[in-house]
C-alpha cells in the first residue's frame, strides 16, 4: 500500500534459469547491505517506546510477532468501498511463490523487494520493442514481478487517485483493508489481462474491483500498516488489515502497459517498496 501525499497528511518472476530483459537493458545501482542495515536500525530506534502498531510488509510464511498493539479487523472487502489500485515493482511482501530477493536497489525502495521464484519460458521472457511504465526509476520488463494493492475503505468514497481517495470529509479515520495479489509480467497475449483484473463495478451497494483473483491460494491475513519507501526509517501510524495471496498469477505485460496509459487512479508507473519489516517488535501475530 503505497505512501502518497494526502490533503491532510502522508500515508502511504522471475526464473533463476533465465535472464530478464531488465538486467540486459538497465544498469541498476545497488546500495550496500550496510545501508539497509542502517535503515532498519533507524526504524527500530524511531519506533521504540513510541507506541507504533504493527508494520508492513512482512514475510507471510512467518507468523511470529511481538507487537502488542491491536485494532479491530476491517470488514471483508466485499462490504467496503474500493478506493484505490496501484502496484509496486517487485513484491513488497515475501513468502509463498515470491521469495527470490531482488537486491538492495537504490536504498529508496526502487529495484528492491522480492521476485517470483519459479520458472518462465523463453517466450514469456522475450523482450518488447517498447517501454512499459517508464519512469526515472526504470521500466517494466517481461519476467518482472509486481505486487498489486486493491485498497478498500469503510468511508463512503469512490475509486480515485492516491490514497487520499480512501478518506472523505465526513470520515477522516476509516478502516482500511488491502487485498494483495502478486503478478508476474509475461510476453504472452494469452496470459491474464490486467485491465480485466482491475475492472470496476458496483456490488451490493459498494464500489468493487470485481475480478480480484480467487484461485491463488488462501490469503494470509494480518494486522499491519501502510507501506512504501518513505517508511524505511520511520514507522507508519496507519492501521491496515492485510490479505495477501501466496500464489502468483501470470499477466500480460502488454495489458499492464495499456492500463498504465489510461486508468482512473492516475497511475503511470510502478512504485518502490518498503524494506521488509523483520523486527518482531514491529510485527503482529497472524
Q: Is 162 helix (H, G, I), strand (E, B) or coil?
A: coil
pLDDT of residue 3: 56
pLDDT confidence bin for 63, thresholds 50/70/90: confident
Strands (E) located in the chain: 4-5, 10-11, 81-89, 100-101, 114-115, 132-135, 138-140, 145-153, 176-186, 200-203, 206-209, 220-224, 240-244, 249-252
| pTM given for the model | 0.91
pLDDT confidence bin for 7, thresholds 50/70/90: very low
**What percent of the chain stands above pLDDT 90?**
88
- DSSP structural state of residue 8: S
- The cell for 165 is 481517495
In this prediction, residues 119-124 reach a mean pLDDT of: 98
pLDDT of residue 1: 81
Peptide bond into 57 cis (omega under 30): yes
pLDDT of residue 40: 98
Output phi, psi for 251, to 5 deg: -135, 145
Buried-state track 12-35, b at ≥16 Cβ within 10 A, e below 16? bbbbeeeebbbeeeeebeebeeee
Residue 89 has pLDDT above 90, yes or no: yes
pLDDT tens digits along 128-154: 999 999 999 999 999 999 999 999 999
Selection from 234, 247, 239 nearest residue 277 by Cα: 234
Supply the range of the domain harboring residue 45. 4-282
In this prediction, residues 5-19 reach a mean pLDDT of: 33
In this prediction, residues 256-279 reach a mean pLDDT of: 98
C-alpha span between 84 and 12 (Å, rounded):
12
C-alpha span between 214 and 193 (Å, rounded):
15
pLDDT confidence bin for 225, thresholds 50/70/90: very high
Residue 184 has pLDDT above 80, yes or no: yes
Number of domains in the chain: 1
Amino acid at each position: 500500500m503505497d505512501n502518497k501525499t494526502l490533503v491532510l497528511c502522508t500515508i502511504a518472476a522471475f526464473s533463476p534459469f533465465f535472464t530478464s530483459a531488465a538486467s540486459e537493458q538497465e544498469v541498476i545501482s545497488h546500495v550496500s547491505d550496510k545501508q539497509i542495515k542502517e535503515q532498519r536500525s533507524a526504524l527500530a530506534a524511531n519506533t521504540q517506546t513510541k507506541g507504533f502498531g504493527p508494520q508492513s510488509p512482512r514475510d507471510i510464511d512467518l507468523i511470529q510477532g511481538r507487537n502488542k498493539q491491536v485494532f479491530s479487523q476491517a470488514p471483508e472487502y466485499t462490504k467496503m468501498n474500493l478506493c484505490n489500485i496501484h502496484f509496486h515493482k517487485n513484491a513488497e511482501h515475501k513468502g509463498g511463490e515470491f521469495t527470490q530477493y531482488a537486491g538492495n536497489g537504490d536504498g529508496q525502495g526502487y529495484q528492491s523487494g522480492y521476485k517470483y521464484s519459479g520458472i518462465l519460458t523463453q517466450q514469456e521472457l522475450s523482450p518488447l520493442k517498447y517501454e512499459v511504465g517508464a519512469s526515472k526509476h526504470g521500466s517494466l520488463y517481461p519476467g518482472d514481478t509486481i505486487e498489486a494493492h486493491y485498497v478498500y475503505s469503510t468511508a463512503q468514497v469512490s475509486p480515485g487517485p492516491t490514497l487520499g481517495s480512501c478518506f472523505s470529509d465526513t470520515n477522516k479515520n476509516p478502516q482500511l483493508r488491502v487485498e494483495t495479489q502478486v503478478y508476474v509480467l509475461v510476453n504472452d497475449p494469452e496470459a491474464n489481462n490486467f485491465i480485466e483484473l482491475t475492472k470496476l463495478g458496483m456490488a451490493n451497494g459498494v464500489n468493487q474491483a470485481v475480478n480480484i483473483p480467487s484461485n491463488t491460494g488462501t490469503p494470509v491475513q494480518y494486522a499491519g500498516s501502510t507501506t512504501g519507501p518513505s517508511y524505511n526509517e520511520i514507522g507508519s501510524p496507519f492501521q491496515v488489515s492485510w490479505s495477501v495471496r501466496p500464489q502468483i498469477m501470470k499477466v500480460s505485460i502488454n495489458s499492464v502497459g495499456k492500463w498504465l496509459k489510461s486508468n482512473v487512479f492516475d497511475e503511470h508507473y510502478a512504485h518502490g517498496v518498503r524494506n521488509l519489516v523483520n523486527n518482531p517488535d514491529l510485527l503482529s501475530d497472524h
